[in-house]
Amino acid sequence: MTPSKLVRKERILEYLDNMMKQVEDIKSVPVPSKDFFLEKDKTIPIKAIKYSLACAIQDVSRVCAHIASALSLWKVRESESEAIRALSDAGILPKEFAEKIKGMPAFRNRIVHDYLPNEFDALKLFETLQSLDDFKAFSKYILAWLEKD
C-alpha cells in the first residue's frame, strides 16, 4: 500500500525526528544494570530516561495512528496496538517487527503512571534500553514506505 494524499508526510517526519532525538537523549545517560532504576539517588536521571522513552513511544503511536487513520486501516478508538498491527496488515511494517513492538503503548502507560521502581519494571525498563534500535528500525520502515509515493 502506498501513501495517500491524506498522509501528512511532514508531520510523520517531525514525529520520527523527535523520536530519534529522544532516543539519543536516553543513550546519553549511562545505565550499567537494572539496579540503576532501583537506586533512590538516581531519581532525576531515571525520570529523564522515563520521560524520553515515553515520548519516543508516543511518537511511534502517533505515526501509526496517523497512517492507520489516513488510510482507513482501523476503526476510530481502537487501541494504539491495533494501529501498529494495522500497519503490519497493510505491509508497511513487517509482521514479526509489529508483533515485537505492539506492547510499546502499554509499556508507555506503565512509565507515565510511574509504577517504577520495582524489580519487574526495573528489569523491563533496562531490557527496553537494550533494544533502542527498534526505534531506528521503525523509522527505517516508515521512511521506506513514504518513499514509495
Q: Give me 15's grid cell.
A: 514525529
Band of the pLDDT at 1, cuts 50, 70, 90? Answer: low
pLDDT tens-place string over residues 112-129: 887 656 777 788 889 999
For residues 43-68, give the mean pLDDT. 93
Residues in CB range of 56: below 8 A, 6 or more apart = 18, 19, 22, 23, 26, 135
In a domain, 3, yes or no: no
**Are 69 and 87 spatial neighbours (Cβ–Cβ below 8 Å)?**
no
For residues 18-27, give the mean pLDDT. 97
In a domain, 85, yes or no: yes
For residues 19-44, give the mean pLDDT. 92
Distance, in Å, from the CA atom of 107 to the CA atom of 104, rounded to the nearest integer, reads 5
pTM: 0.90
CB contact burial 41-51 (16+ within 10 A = b; e otherwise) = ebeebbeebbe
In a domain, 2, yes or no: no
Report the number of distinct structural domains present in the chain.
Answer: 1
Strand, coil or helix: 52: helix
Q: Is 48's pLDDT higher than 80?
A: yes
Kindly report the CA angle at 75 between 60 and 113, in degrees rounded to 5?
Answer: 45
pLDDT tens-place string over residues 63-106: 999 999 888 887 655 788 899 999 999 999 999 999 999 999 98
Q: Which domain holds residue 74?
A: 9-146
In a domain, 4, yes or no: no
| CATH code of 56's domain | 1.20.120.580
Instruction: Tell me the average pLDDT of the chain.
Output: 89
